[in-house]
Structure 1
Amino acid sequence: MLTDICLCPTSLSKPEARDAWNGVIHGILSHGRSTGDHLTNLLAAEPDFAMAHAMKGLACLMLGRRELVQTARDAHGEAVRLVAQGGALERERLWVQALGDWLGGRPSVAIKRMEGCLTLAPTDTISMKLSHGIRFMLGDSHGMLRSVENTLPAHGPDHPLYGYVLGCHAFALEETGQYDRAERQGLRGLHFARDDAWGLHAVAHVYDMTHLTDQGIALIDSNAAAWDHCNNFRFHVWWHKALLHLDQGDIATVLDLYDTKVRDEKTDDYRDFSNASSLLMRLEIEGIDVGDRWAELADLAEKRTDDGCLTFADMHYMLALIGERPEAANRLLARVAADAGPQDDTSAVMMTPGMATSKGLAAFGDANYDQAFAHLQRAQPDFQTMGGSHAQRDIFERLTIEAGLRAGRVNEAKTLLQARTALRNGHEDTFAATRMAQIGKMQTLCSAHTAAE
């Protein structure tokens, strides 16, 4: 029995297997490109380690791809078989159960298994990270904060993974509106873990939410060591940089970042896709001609209309289809409706807010702004349950407000815009400033028209 880098006992017996497992842990925490290689080495060294098979299955589900669900099921079946042979520790059994829960449509129960691991050992950084990640996918920001703060006392500066815990704490603080604390904790974490892309990006979120664009750009530019080692997460960091430049009105830089960084690799990973589609839509509603860039995304989205793993992913596919492929958009709309219901966690989110959001986006694409606003306004209070971050979901907030303005629903759009600014602790970004100015002009014209009558 060997202890891993989380200071937790494992059922591993070979030092090379323990080293590979530590590599998996570090890779997940740092979003490193070599994580998969470490998992392959681990399974080769000790193929009977059930936790490795559970990790494989959980990783597949986090990718949100229908074709990988069977791979996750196979991994779960093997893990269950190995647990039945005996020798697995309680932490390892909990991971296997978590995979089964998620496969059964209950990622919310999978979280409870991970929290069970943290009850066993609050030093268990990787179980905290997986709880954090699943909660992120469910939009549970307050749960993220509770979970990481419960583990903080067991993660002092002498813990090998201390910096990554600070990074998770920073992100949870940012998502719950505690921007000053998030900035301090994220920057502190980078001193302990120079390759913590998650912590770096948490601080980038802070600067986005508080309209400190110069600081955000400088943060990313001066901390390349935190993200240039990453897997596709580095595209997300570039996306954040593009958002900051967009807030400054530097469209040429935004388009260059899109072409050379954000879509440097034309993947259909839903996270990469959401970066791209949401950025193009931000540009479009600012009146920017994005050329033929939608076509590449629409080709990919058209192949994902039957996916249905994540409402968050489906809504970003819809962004690429509504202006390019209306028939495919209608197929996606019908599939969301067919999947919606009370059966499990995923279908519940498809029902609320998925159905109203997809109808609203389709109507927006048809320039039926009154219907778009009606649907999106109904969905808006529940956008967070789609998962992702405030920054990622903001495209749907922007589209709701934009639909309201184009439909002439000025007062309702203004209320939503004010709530959006309040979420940013009163910091008004360029989108808010331009729309508030537009609202002022519309109200002045309305008043003048009324007076003339």
Structure 2
Amino acid sequence: MTHFDAFGQPTTITAGAGLAHWTQTQQAFLAHSAATPDHLAKTLDADPNFALAHAVKGFFLLLLGRRELVQTAQEAANIARASDRNRPVTPRERAFIDGLDVWLGGYPSKAVAHLDQVLLTHPGDPLAMKISHAIRFILGDAQGMRRSIEQVMPAYGADHPARGYVMGCHAFALEETGEYGRAAAAGSAALEFSPDDAWGLHAVAHVYDMVAEPAKGLNWLKGREAAWAHCNNFRYHVWWHKALMHLDLGQTDIVLDLYDTLIRADKTDDYRDISNATSLLMRLELEGIDVGTRWDELADVSAARTDDGSLIFADLHYLLALIGGRREDATAKLVARIAQDGATGQGEVALRMANPGTAAALGLEAFGEGDYATAFRGLARARKHMQLAGGSHAQRDVFERLTIDAGLRAGRMSEAAQMIDERSARRAGRDDTFARTRREMLGNRSTPLRVPAE
């Protein structure tokens, strides 16, 4: 028997407690809530044969970007298929199962295509919308994110319970495609409908990063901590944004305090947490700031992840940790594995290991060794395709900074200057502190470049 969830979507879950838990699962997922897995577990306890929940569990596991969870995701897919045979599901639900299968087969973009088919007939389905958005994010498909959201926006009227969350996704997609004013307005409006929409709040933080207005960004976040306090590890990412704003203002003591007390208070090995930490420490070092022994624990964690290969975005941040921690053997091992996966691997992950992964990895390794000419060649080659690594402009900017600084240190002044111009052009034509200091270096060739201590 088909029931309808709180978002008006048909579902074959048994009625009663199971349906209530399923609504809570979706609500928590939209809000990036730490309670999401608990609600999903309660849903499956109430209805162990609910195929869609098993498929969604598989999606959640793959989004974590960890090789050891792929088998568990495959098991969830197998259970979903078996549940469908025992209690046939709706076409909408089957599209989720099909999408999970093709992602497990190595093609996340095909998973998105299945979810897009759902949205053609069920545009008001926030679960399909959000999972599609999340996969496109890790694929670096900003235009696809925006196109997908804008196609379904008419289905989210003022009375739709997920209106705020879809507006938050729209805000982020607008920001990633350069519509900064519209993005800020959409993110602010999203919080009016959904006060716990951390994604929309963080989209506005992205805007202030891109338009080089850190003071306004800090003012935006001030007093809104409740919008991300409930989050899973995404809350560390919002604190990371706050740290970036303080860094742009030159307030490095505050940055290091945020790092120690909030961003890296929990020493997890989640790749998203590692990316926050490593990219922040690298930014600090590029500005000549001594980060002490903070690289050590990140390098320890990352040395255990060199064989992962789930996402090139994750691998490159593990590599930053190994370089920062001076782990030459582990660095060489990870670089070689990325190159091997790019040369012989199958599927879309392997394509990204090949390009931009291999050139970026070789460039980063050379940067760590102080071979800036080689570093610049590799990083500059990867730079043209770095969006394929996934993540956001703000996250990928650490590689942009490293490329520019490698160019300056290698004496490739005109090329570095052009990259600074291109970087600022993407940022509403504005220079942030990084760009201004590098322009000063270019204007005074005798200015010594800051090089991290050996």
2:452: which partner in 1?
none
d(CA) in 2 for partners of 1:92, 1:152 = 21
3-state SS in 2 of match to 1:227: helix
1:430 corresponds to which of 429, 433, 454:
433
For the pair 1:100 / 2:129, whether they are aligned, the reply is: no
2:45: which partner in 1?
44
3-state SS in 1 of match to 2:138: helix
Contact kept in structure 1, 2:137 and 2:145, CA below 8 Å: yes
1:410 corresponds to which of 398, 406, 413:
413
For 2:438, give the aligned amino acid: R
Unaligned stretches of 5+ residues in structure 2: 449-454
Percent identity between the aligned chains? 53
2:334: which partner in 1?
332
For the pair 1:345 / 2:326, whether they are aligned, the reply is: no
* Mapping for residues 383-398 of structure 1, pairs under 5 Å: 383-398=386-401
For the pair 1:442 / 2:445, whether they are aligned, the reply is: yes
Q: Which runs of 4+ in 1 moved over 6 A?
A: none
1:234: which partner in 2?
235
For the pair 1:420 / 2:423, whether they are aligned, the reply is: yes
Give the TM-score taking structure 2 as reference length: 0.97
CA shift digits 1:344-375 (9 cap, x unpaired): 10000000000000000000000000000000
d(CA) in 2 for partners of 1:290, 1:391 = 21
1:448: which partner in 2?
none
- Judged with a 3 Å threshold, the aligned counterparts in structure 2 of structure 1 residues 392 and 444 are, in CA distance, closer, same or farther, namely closer
TM-aligned CA deviation for residue 427 of structure 1: 1.4
Contact kept in structure 2, 1:27 and 1:35, CA below 8 Å: yes
1:450: which partner in 2?
none
TM-aligned CA deviation for residue 444 of structure 1: 10
1:149: which partner in 2?
150
2:451: which partner in 1?
none
Unaligned stretches of 5+ residues in structure 1: 446-453
* Mapping for residues 176-191 of structure 1, pairs under 5 Å: 176-191=177-192
Q: How many residues of Structure 1 are paired with residues of Structure 2 in the alignment?
A: 445
Name whichever of 317-326 and 235-244 sits farther off.
Answer: 317-326
2:133: which partner in 1?
132
Contact kept in structure 1, 2:217 and 2:245, CA below 8 Å: yes
TM-aligned CA deviation for residue 217 of structure 1: 0.9
1:114: which partner in 2?
115
2:84: which partner in 1?
83
1:274: which partner in 2?
275
CA shift digits 1:63-109 (9 cap, x unpaired): 00111011001111111111122421111111111111111000000
Contact kept in structure 1, 2:441 and 2:447, CA below 8 Å: no
3-state SS in 1 of match to 2:399: helix
For the pair 1:362 / 2:365, whether they are aligned, the reply is: yes
d(CA) in 1 for partners of 2:19, 2:141 = 32
TM-aligned CA deviation for residue 443 of structure 1: 8.9
2:306: which partner in 1?
305
Contact kept in structure 1, 2:103 and 2:110, CA below 8 Å: yes
Contact kept in structure 1, 2:413 and 2:442, CA below 8 Å: yes
TM-aligned CA deviation for residue 225 of structure 1: 1.7
3-state SS in 2 of match to 1:222: coil
For the pair 1:166 / 2:167, whether they are aligned, the reply is: yes
Contact kept in structure 1, 2:313 and 2:389, CA below 8 Å: yes
TM-aligned CA deviation for residue 260 of structure 1: 0.2
Output the aligned Cα RMSD.
Answer: 1.2
d(CA) in 1 for partners of 2:28, 2:274 = 22
d(CA) in 2 for partners of 1:199, 1:436 = 33
1:12: which partner in 2?
13
d(CA) in 1 for partners of 2:398, 2:155 = 38
d(CA) in 2 for partners of 1:21, 1:147 = 24
Contact kept in structure 2, 1:27 and 1:34, CA below 8 Å: yes
d(CA) in 2 for partners of 1:396, 1:441 = 24
Contact kept in structure 2, 1:6 and 1:126, CA below 8 Å: no
d(CA) in 1 for partners of 2:193, 2:163 = 7
For 1:169, give the aligned amino acid: H
Name whichever of 434-443 and 195-204 sits farther off.
Answer: 434-443
2:294: which partner in 1?
293
d(CA) in 2 for partners of 1:118, 1:4 = 16
For the pair 1:371 / 2:374, whether they are aligned, the reply is: yes
d(CA) in 2 for partners of 1:247, 1:168 = 26
3-state SS in 2 of match to 1:322: helix
TM-aligned CA deviation for residue 13 of structure 1: 2.2
d(CA) in 2 for partners of 1:217, 1:243 = 10
3-state SS in 1 of match to 2:4: coil
- Judged with a 3 Å threshold, the aligned counterparts in structure 2 of structure 1 residues 361 and 444 are, in CA distance, closer, same or farther, namely closer
d(CA) in 1 for partners of 2:96, 2:191 = 29
TM-aligned CA deviation for residue 5 of structure 1: 2.3
d(CA) in 1 for partners of 2:31, 2:436 = 36
d(CA) in 2 for partners of 1:156, 1:282 = 42
d(CA) in 2 for partners of 1:366, 1:444 = 22
Contact kept in structure 2, 1:136 and 1:388, CA below 8 Å: yes
d(CA) in 1 for partners of 2:19, 2:340 = 45
CA shift digits 1:202-234 (9 cap, x unpaired): 000000111111111122122112101111110
* Mapping for residues 189-268 of structure 1, pairs under 5 Å: 189-268=190-269
3-state SS in 1 of match to 2:83: helix
